[in-house]
Structure 1
Amino acid sequence: MLKKYKDEQEFYSLVGIKLQTFQKMVEILKKAEAIKKAVGGKPNKLSIENRLLMTLEYWKEYSSYRVIAKRYNISHTSCIRNIFWIENTLIKSGIFNLSGKKDLIKNKGINNNLLAIDATETPIERIKKTKITFFG
């Protein structure tokens, strides 16, 4: 799945982050995986780069785990496990965190602008199953 991109602008428009940021994330994830693999375990089917791309795809497009798993030819549970590991590892690194509420109040916002983040979850409307009867 990891492809060659024409330039950094194409990479940014398709992935959603700059190439330098991506490379920094890969570096952090490789260090974390080396520590994880020192204990032992089964090797992952996907490379770190592909797992990170999969996670970024999930964040950007908000596709379901099943759809992403199908694209990367892995199981649904493996997709969830990989995305959770990537998210948790990047959060624990401390480099990719958003400023907290106290920092925003202390600095009176970012560049004196109002910052609003919509983090609400909305339920998915599903078609109700109905019984089909044929008259004849």
Structure 2
Amino acid sequence: MKPYAQLPTDNPEEFMRTVGLSKEGFHVLNDKLTAYIATQKALNPLTMRGRKDTKLVLEDRLLLTLYYLRHYPTLINLGAIFDISESYCHKIYTRTARMIAKVEKLPNRKTLLEDSTTTLAIDVSEQPIERPVKNQKAYYSGKKRHTIKAQLVICVLTLTILSVVMGKGQQHDFLVFKNNRLLLHSGALLLADSGYQGIHKHHQNSTLPVKKKKGQPLSAEDKAHNKALAKRRIYIEHVNRRCKVFRIVKDVYRGKHKNYSLTWRLVAALVNLRYDGI
């Protein structure tokens, strides 16, 4: 892998496919990290002394982190790509990822309480994981594999990801919603799928598809309602696809489960940045 300074700049599509962000988005994120590091040095000058990480400059550390999120290689392969050791590669990724989470955040949860006219869509993305050593039953999905879940809430108008919360594979989608106590403005319209039966008790202004009952076919009116709802909810499927361009939330997740929330918040923030006109 070439250092960032030597990457080709004449092919924006190739840069996007390699890094997961446009070159402009990369520079925006790099500038935010530079400002954050300068602020931390000013606030804590004594803690910044000692040995310096001179192997990779900030642009290369950011490139490494984005490349890992985008392609999800093993750390030993990632270290070989950037010509550094596996342990140093892990150190750089961990530090840079946590800095990105501080400078590129999702909207505050209070945002969901402020707008009464917005239309929101909610859905759960399920990802396979390696079989856990402990507490396997909690992660065992009905799809006969161990999984972990991420619940996304988006604004249908802007396709901005507003919230991401986690759940275990055995949990029902609606249970993930209830456990995380997502607060919404009472006037906001929430579009959900059939996995959220009962959500009206928690948010009255919700729309669900009509489920077919045994021996009772759906009426033409119910079919028209379901079709119209599917057309409005399709946008959250598009956002899910945008997120899964970053292979770390698509392939079998190999990391620690306690870091899964951070991983999804990183990916969601990067997707918002990528499609924010940058």
What per-residue deviation string (whole Å, max 9, x for no partner) do you get for residues 2-44 of structure 1?
2122133332232111222211222233344452895232332
| Among candidates 53, 57, 75, match of residue 85 of structure 2 | 75
- Is 1:123 the counterpart of 2:130? The answer is yes
Deviation of 1:113 after TM superposition, in Å, equals 4.8
Alpha carbons of structure 1 residues 15 and 102: separation in structure 2 relative to 1, 3 Å = same
User: 5 Å matches for 1:5-84?
Assistant: 5-34=9-38, 35=41, 38-84=48-94
Deviation of 1:57 after TM superposition, in Å, equals 1.0
- The gaps in structure 1 that reach 5 residues or longer are 125-136
Q: Paired residue for 2:177?
A: none
Q: Paired residue for 1:114?
A: 121
Deviation of 1:112 after TM superposition, in Å, equals 2.7
Aligned residues: 122
- The gaps in structure 2 that reach 5 residues or longer are 132-278
Q: Please identify which structure carries the higher strand content.
A: 2
Alpha-carbon RMSD across the aligned residues, in angstroms, is 3.1
Q: Please identify which structure carries the higher helix content.
A: 1
* Identity over aligned pairs, percent: 22
The one-letter code sitting in structure 2 at the alignment partner of 1:56 is L
Q: Report the Cα distance in structure 2 between the residues aligned to 1:119 and 1:27, rounded to whole angstroms.
A: 33
Maintained 8 Å contact 2:12/2:23: yes
Q: Report the Cα distance in structure 2 between the residues aligned to 1:55 and 1:119, rounded to whole angstroms.
A: 23
| Higher alpha-carbon Rg | 2
SS for the counterpart of 1:21 is: helix
SS for the counterpart of 1:14 is: helix
Deviation of 1:69 after TM superposition, in Å, equals 0.7
Deviation of 1:122 after TM superposition, in Å, equals 0.6
Alpha carbons of structure 1 residues 5 and 43: separation in structure 2 relative to 1, 3 Å = same
The one-letter code sitting in structure 2 at the alignment partner of 1:20 is E
